[in-house]
Structure 1
Amino acid sequence: MTDDEFDLLDELYFVQHFSYLKETLGWGETRLLTTLQALYEKSFIKCLKGPDDEIFEKLDLTQSGTDLFYLATKKGLMEHNAL
């Protein structure tokens, strides 16, 4: 897990919108979307249309990630806490 992935997972213990993550971390959009995509591909996060509306189809977050909410999965939290 990269330092960026670790720092991003720190923010995803609760459902958070993309704009919150961008503001809190102070990252550029490309960096944030790339890191979200990497975590998503490892099944460390799940994506939501709204706070209670999980998306189950495959996503390309670099194209549609700015309008979504995110939450760490159990697998992501276990990996995050193991470090």
Structure 2
Amino acid sequence: MTTKEFDLLDELYFVQHYNYLKDALDWEDDVLLSTLQSLYDQGYIKCLASPDEEVFNDVDLPNQGVDYYYLATKKGLMDHNTI
């Protein structure tokens, strides 16, 4: 897990919108979206269309990532806490 992935997971113990993450981490969009994509590909986060509605079909983070909410998965939390 990279330092950026670790820092991003720190923010995802609770459901957070993309805009919150952008403000909290102060990263450029391309960095934030690529880190979110990496965490998603590893199964460390899930994407939500609203705070209570998980997205199960194709997730298009490069084009729609700014519209989603995010939450760490159990796997993500377990790996985050063992580092």
Normalization by structure 1: what TM-score?
0.98
| In structure 1, distance between residues paired with 2:76 and 2:62 | 20
Cα distance, 1:31 vs structure 2:
0.4
Q: Report the equivalent of 2:11.
A: 11
Gapped regions of structure 1 (runs ≥ 5):
none
Cα distance, 1:58 vs structure 2:
2.3
Cα distance, 1:11 vs structure 2:
0.0
SS in 1 for 2:49: strand
Q: Report the equivalent of 1:32.
A: 32
Q: Report the equivalent of 2:65.
A: 65
| In structure 1, distance between residues paired with 2:38 and 2:7 | 13
| In structure 1, distance between residues paired with 2:60 and 2:48 | 13
SS in 1 for 2:14: coil
| Amino-acid identity (%) | 60
Q: Report the equivalent of 2:41.
A: 41
Cα distance, 1:16 vs structure 2:
0.1
SS in 2 for 1:31: helix
Gapped regions of structure 2 (runs ≥ 5):
none
Letter matched to residue 51 of structure 2: P
Aligned length: 83
Normalization by structure 2: what TM-score?
0.98
